[in-house]
Amino acid sequence: MENHQKGNIFSLLPKKLDREAFEPIVAHDHVVIERIVSRGHRSPETGWYDQKSNEWVMVLAGRATIVFENGQEVRLEKGDYVNISARTRHKVTWTDPGVETIWLTVHYG
Amino acid sequence: MENHQKGNIFSLLPKKLDREAFEPIVAHDHVVIERIVSRGHRSPETGWYDQKSNEWVMVLAGRATIVFENGQEVRLEKGDYVNISARTRHKVTWTDPGVETIWLTVHYG
């Protein structure tokens, strides 16, 4: 019978964060749940994230700023979440350089 | 253009918790993201949760115990998560009576 192995979203943080770390937790037909760990990382100066699927994203530790193409800026801290519909252009303009920012994202639809 | 309203998973906890509080955050074709707030609640003595969809569940505050039909007991604290496949019978046998337990669940597939 299936054994249920638990994980912890705050544990086993990557030691090297030269790049943001993307770690899949669940990958299924219509949903991908992922942990992202950032430390001072931000999106490239030019261009936008422009995704085919919807994304629900929550910051569980650290701090980050997301900017949308319409200019709206959303600052996220512990527990803050926002839903980003497919094809809504956005970028991460800031994450706290002094501490790991731990994101949980659910890509769906 | 769409305005992105952020929420916070730890905010606006229900004042009355006579029953567990189930609050949908995202509801889509193949995925439902939900916050559950418990305080000492547990599943009924008899019977099991036996769900058509898969469920990924994380405890963000408080403490809880899930038991599976095979007898496996999984204790969950802050940040702990477990994936429960569809049709895997389980129940919540304990949540901390002294503090709110805040769950994030993603039903999918």
Chain A neighbours among B 48-87 (CB < 8 Å)?
Answer: 54, 56, 58, 60, 66, 68-70, 72, 74, 76, 78-85
How far is the alpha carbon of A81 from chain B, nearest alpha carbon, in Å?
5
Chain A: closest CA distance from residue B97 (Å)? 22
Planar angle of CA A2, B85, B6, nearest 5 degrees: 135
> What's residue B47's pLDDT?
87
Q: Chain-wide mean pLDDT for chain A? A: 94
**Per mean pLDDT, which range of A27-31, A56-60, A61-65 is the poorest?**
A27-31
Q: How far apart are CA A49 and CA A9, in angstroms?
A: 24
Nearest-Cα distance to chain A for B60, in Å, is 9
Is B28–A3 a contact, with Cβ atoms under 8 angstroms apart? no
ipTM at complex level: 0.93
Task: Report whether pLDDT(B93) > 60.
Answer: yes
Using the predicted structure, report yes or no on whether residue A11 has a pLDDT greater than 70.
yes
A–B interface: beta-carbon pairs under 8 A: 114
The token pair at A84 is: 């980003």
Q: Does A21 touch chain B (CB under 8 A)?
A: no
Tell me what pLDDT residue A1 has.
Answer: 56
Prediction pTM value: 0.94
Asked if A92 has any chain B CB less than 8 Å from its own CB, the reply is no
Q: Which residue of A has its CA nearest to B56?
A: A26
Window from A31-40, A44-53, A81-90 with minimum mean pLDDT: A44-53
DSSP characters over B54-77: EEEEEEEES-EEEEETTS-EEEE-
> Could you tell me the pLDDT band of residue A45, with boundaries at 50, 70 and 90?
confident
Spatial CB neighbours of A12, under 8 Å, sequence gap ≥ 6: none
Contacts of A7 in chain B (CB under 8 A): 80-82
Closest CA to A92 of A29, A49, A30, A28: A49
Tell me the per-residue pLDDT of B29-76, one tens digit each, with 9 for 90 and over.
999 999 999 999 998 888 899 999 999 999 999 999 999 999 999 999
DSSP for A79-90 reads TEEEEE-TT--E
Locate A16 and state its tokens.
């090297």
| Listed residue (A44, A45, A24) closest to A34, CA to CA | A24
**Residue ranges of domains in chain B, CATH in brackets:** 21-108 (2.60.120.10)
Residues of A in contact with B25 (CB under 8 A): 56, 81, 83
> Looking at the predicted structure, is the pLDDT value of residue A103 above 60?
yes
Task: Say if A37 is an interface residue toward chain B (CB within 8 Å).
Answer: no
Nearest to A20 by CA among A106, A107, A108, A97: A97
